[in-house]
Structure 1
Amino acid sequence: MPTLIVSDSTKDWELEIPEVEKVEAWRYLTDPEFANRRNVRLYNLCRSMKYQSTGYYVSLLAEARGHKPLPGVIALQDLKSPAMLRFVGDELDELIQKSLEPLLSDQFELSVYFGCNMAKRYERLARHLFNMVPVPLLRFRFVKNKTWQIRSVKALGTNDLTEGHHEFVTEAALKHFTKSFRSRPKTKRLRFDLAILHDPNEGANSPSNEGALKKFVKAAESVGLSADLITKDDSGSLLEYDGLFIRQTTAVNHFTYRLARRAASEGLVVIDDPVSIARCTNKVYLAELMTYHKIPTPQTLVVHRDNMHEIGPTLGFPCVLKKPDSAFSQGVVKVKNQKELEERLAEFLTESELIVAQQFLPTTFDWRIGVLDQRAIFACQYYMAPGHWQIIQQEKDGRGRYGKSKTIPVELAPRKAVQMAIKAANLIGDGLYGVDVKESDGKFTLIEVNDNPNIDSGCEDEILRDELYRKIMESFLKRIEQKKSAIH
């Protein structure tokens, strides 16, 4: 993908980088040649990013032309937003406190150049701040009032660089560009770029194993997408891509949700989209949604402190309690009697005002129906872990013990299970979902709709093989094409 560095004067940026073209801002704004270019990555290093300044219009017109500016207009507006400064996740806040704790002063400024800082001890903090505010050159101001907080953040132009920092900025830029281009195919020009987010440390709990990730990359290329496997540390480069495919376990109070929101707001095609994450990861929402639309589920109560006495008489024992944001069988417990129920309620209701209680329906397996674009694409039987009542038995060391699985052609799966899964998934959206359905005595009940469903090599792909990955990549291609055509 062609890359531009745009600054007020080409003399502002003297570094020569292979495959990167330097352009003066006024020429970029006024020369029709640039308006007619397609699939351009742009780094805006203008001296001012203020509203209606030259720098502002560089990013604004870049977006109008379908180019990929860094920073984008939303990022520039976020710089002025007090709410953005407060929107710091727990992990970043902890890193800020730890990094700045040794300081004796109650004020501190930190320069962030392409995600780097001159002091090694602030390297990790600088990278996280860049991921939160994807602007090439930044200066953060922190103040301490019991705890350290971000007081302000400013986008820098090349004229704002601290004296003596120019050489380091050059090195940081070169490092950034080298990293951005390292996985790009050189021999074949592909139409669009896709980021596949994963966490190598998730192990068996990862939504896709290593084999599946490789197949996604290969399938992407076969349909004209250049796919890169990225991690959380690469999220500052998100705007270099046309789409984001999240293959890391999602949660609302987690950076995956924040990243999905940012990507969607910047115009990327996102699976899992933030709305799907918010809806699927809350079991209280799912319980209300399925009840409202009369989709059969196990008998269910949305429980709070005023009605918790109804659980035993209504559902009987054993019954199942679920935390709203439970995943991978964690936060889901079976209680056998009133004593166990009271103990678990005391624990669960300290974390959430509402939880879910459900009738216990023992089965040897659950149906998992994969749904994409409102159509079923795979059907599996997930068997319970040996000697356990769930698909996954979580061990004390955090590892999960899984039951076996069996994949069958969608057309051979029970028609009622498939229809129920599609209907339930369509209530969430048109993304990629894994819908769990129980079959008992010829009756089908919906358990839940999952965003970010497992797609592993050797399991969900047993029937369609490479075609499963291609279907998902074709969906990305179609969605990206639709977005691009809407722009042009």
Structure 2
Amino acid sequence: MSDWVILASTVSGFDHAATRHKVLGTRDYLAKPEMFRGARPNIINLSRSYAYQSRGYYASLLAAARGQRVIPSVETIIDLSRRELYDNAIPELEDSLNKGLGEKASHAPARLRIHFGSCEDQKLDKFARLLFDWFRAPVLEVTLKPGKWCQITKIALLPESKLEKEERAHFFAAMERYTARQWKDARSRTPARYTFATLVDANEELPPSSIASLKHWARIAGRMGVAVEPIGRKDLSRLANFDALFIRETTSISNHTYRFARRAQQEGMPVIDDPVSMIRCTNKVYLDEMMRANGVAVPDTVMIIGAEDIPRAADFLGFPMVVKVPDSSFSRGVSKVGSLEELKKLVAAWLEDSDVLIAQKFMPTKFDWRIGVLGGKPLFAVQYMMAKKHWQIVRHDPGGRPVEGGFKSFSLADTPPAVLDAGLRAARCIGDGLYGVDLKETDDGVFVIEVNDNPNLDHGVEDAAEKDEVWTRLTNWFVERIVS
């Protein structure tokens, strides 16, 4: 059976010659779930209506329940049901639209129709792809208000049946391009059962995994029947072609990595990092509250919301102390201050960009422990040494490249039990994915500094002690969730 199945309200009225894929009536799809039992086809829902509780709506809803990927998803149907639900996408979309229109913004058409991320006006290709990244649907109709700055007044799902006759050739050509999946053959004797997407940016300065490390994983996964394919930030529309997603870019809920994670979650595919973990781990205020609520030891902390909190932080923590922007990463947005004047100056500057800061007791150590946790179980243990002549593991010199300290890998069996236990308890507060828990081992005990949702995982570093078992377990984590 074809990998793709087209759902149409009426099979008899559908142009079967326009597609090579199987066409099925929406009624039959809803009434006969046994038709695809044991199979995982990709569904393109071309029903006449996507209105709430219509057959088209239920087709997308039940496709998700049956473990099948469907376009449009129920989430997309709901997102486009009211302007306030997609309003946050408008600024980025309008910017792309106006760049494409250029000087012709005031003469833009009243409506644009986008077919599978493709527009008949090639100047608007980037806008069409971006719109499809936001709202993956067969046909999207965008209502415009032309002017010096062309405005988007409405985005709506449009049933294929409402397309004009002259539009259909473009629509079916776009559908053919979209469904022409290009899988890379796994370089192994074992046929690939699954294909995992790995989101990477080859130009990132401090990526969580190097390209060489990901190639090493691909070789191990290939022997297990899994193909690994790198994708980039422009490949969101292709994500449904894969079985799982491993994000290997620095994550942020304000950039494309969150959008990828959210889309993967909507598609029902296992993803590291998942959106909830991103939200929790990228904010140090949340982490501090969560750790304390679950009895996990953390450094003494004071939340700074305004200048009135500075004296309390100084009295409680003393100097030096560490001040952090809640969503900082890779030692950025983290500073040590040695006096009240330094604290006042730093807080005044940082509160211009963040409504909340946190100050923590300074705990000097020669290294930080990191415990890798996957699925609630320990994966690796590493000591990261402080960068030379610095108090952090990464030193960011103005205008220069980041300087990192050395490392020492430990087998899980040789890791101090107290460190391992603290790492596991901290990670389990967050979720079931992959986490890197940073800890300080002091005379007063073991303290959790933070939990990273996309920890470093490099060949020869984090896997130096446990070897390929690290990558094998990572692969199995995804596979177990695909088949469950």
Same fold judged by TM-score > 0.5? yes
Residues 446-485 of structure 1, C-alpha deviation per residue, up to 9 Å, x if partnerless? 2111111111122111122322111011111222222xxx
- Quick one: which of 374, 377, 380 aligns to 1:378? 380
> What does residue 464 of structure 2 align with?
462
SS, match of residue 35 in structure 2: helix
Residues 60-96 of structure 1, C-alpha deviation per residue, up to 9 Å, x if partnerless? 3433433221122222222213233213286555434
Q: Does residue 130 in structure 1 map to residue 128 in structure 2?
A: no
Q: Does residue 336 in structure 1 map to residue 338 in structure 2?
A: yes
Cα distance change, pair 163–347 in 1 and its aligned pair in 2 (3 A) = farther
CA displacement at 1:118 relative to structure 2:
2.0
> What does residue 253 of structure 1 align with?
254
Q: Does residue 302 in structure 1 map to residue 303 in structure 2?
A: yes
Q: Does residue 293 in structure 1 map to residue 301 in structure 2?
A: no
Matches of 2:207 and 2:445 in 1, distance apart? 31
> What does residue 485 of structure 1 align with?
none
CA displacement at 1:174 relative to structure 2:
3.2
Matches of 1:424 and 1:289 in 2, distance apart? 9
Matches of 2:15 and 2:317 in 1, distance apart? 71
Counterpart mapping for 1:19-98 below 5 A: 20-26=21-27, 28-29=29-30, 34-88=35-89, 91-92=92-93, 94-98=95-99
> What does residue 208 of structure 2 align with?
207
Residues 356-390 of structure 1, C-alpha deviation per residue, up to 9 Å, x if partnerless? 11122222211111011111110011112222221
> What does residue 452 of structure 1 align with?
454
Worse-superposed segment, 146-155 or 330-339 = 146-155
Cα distance change, pair 45–219 in 1 and its aligned pair in 2 (3 A) = farther
Worse-superposed segment, 283-292 or 393-402 = 393-402
Cα distance change, pair 319–147 in 1 and its aligned pair in 2 (3 A) = farther
> What does residue 2 of structure 1 align with?
3
* Contact residue 310 and residue 343 of structure 2 kept, 8 A: no
> What does residue 111 of structure 1 align with?
113
Greater relative contact order (CA < 8 Å, ≥ 6 in sequence): 1
CA displacement at 1:422 relative to structure 2:
0.8
Counterpart mapping for 1:145-184 below 5 A: 149-178=151-180, 180-183=181-184
Matches of 1:343 and 1:411 in 2, distance apart? 46
Matches of 1:309 and 1:149 in 2, distance apart? 49
* Contact residue 80 and residue 156 of structure 2 kept, 8 A: yes
* Contact residue 196 and residue 244 of structure 2 kept, 8 A: yes
Structure 1 segments of 4+ aligned residues over 6 angstroms from their partners: 144-147
Worse-superposed segment, 268-277 or 28-37 = 28-37
> What does residue 361 of structure 2 align with?
359
* Alpha-carbon RMSD: 2.9
Q: Structure 2: give runs of 5+ residues left out of the alignment.
A: none
Matches of 1:210 and 1:366 in 2, distance apart? 25
Matches of 1:327 and 1:90 in 2, distance apart? 26
Matches of 1:165 and 1:343 in 2, distance apart? 61
Matches of 1:36 and 1:271 in 2, distance apart? 28
Q: Does residue 233 in structure 1 map to residue 234 in structure 2?
A: yes
Residues 365-417 of structure 1, C-alpha deviation per residue, up to 9 Å, x if partnerless? 11111011111110011112222221112243474222222211011122211
CA displacement at 1:332 relative to structure 2:
0.7
- 1:217 corresponds to which letter in structure 2? A
Matches of 1:249 and 1:62 in 2, distance apart? 32
Matches of 1:364 and 1:144 in 2, distance apart? 61
- 1:12 corresponds to which letter in structure 2? D
> What does residue 428 of structure 2 align with?
426
- Quick one: which of 138, 141, 148 aligns to 1:139? 141
* Contact residue 287 and residue 302 of structure 1 kept, 8 A: no
Cα distance change, pair 53–295 in 1 and its aligned pair in 2 (3 A) = closer
* Contact residue 70 and residue 239 of structure 1 kept, 8 A: no
Cα distance change, pair 314–418 in 1 and its aligned pair in 2 (3 A) = same
Cα distance change, pair 53–389 in 1 and its aligned pair in 2 (3 A) = same
* Contact residue 85 and residue 150 of structure 1 kept, 8 A: no
- Quick one: which of 433, 436, 439 aligns to 1:437? 439
* Contact residue 186 and residue 222 of structure 2 kept, 8 A: no
Cα distance change, pair 32–445 in 1 and its aligned pair in 2 (3 A) = closer
SS, match of residue 112 in structure 2: strand
SS, match of residue 181 in structure 1: coil
- Quick one: which of 11, 14, 21 aligns to 2:17? 14
- 1:424 corresponds to which letter in structure 2? A
- Quick one: which of 326, 340, 344 aligns to 2:328? 326
TM-score (norm 1): 0.88
Worse-superposed segment, 46-55 or 72-81 = 46-55
SS, match of residue 469 in structure 1: helix
Cα distance change, pair 290–477 in 1 and its aligned pair in 2 (3 A) = same
> What does residue 316 of structure 1 align with?
318
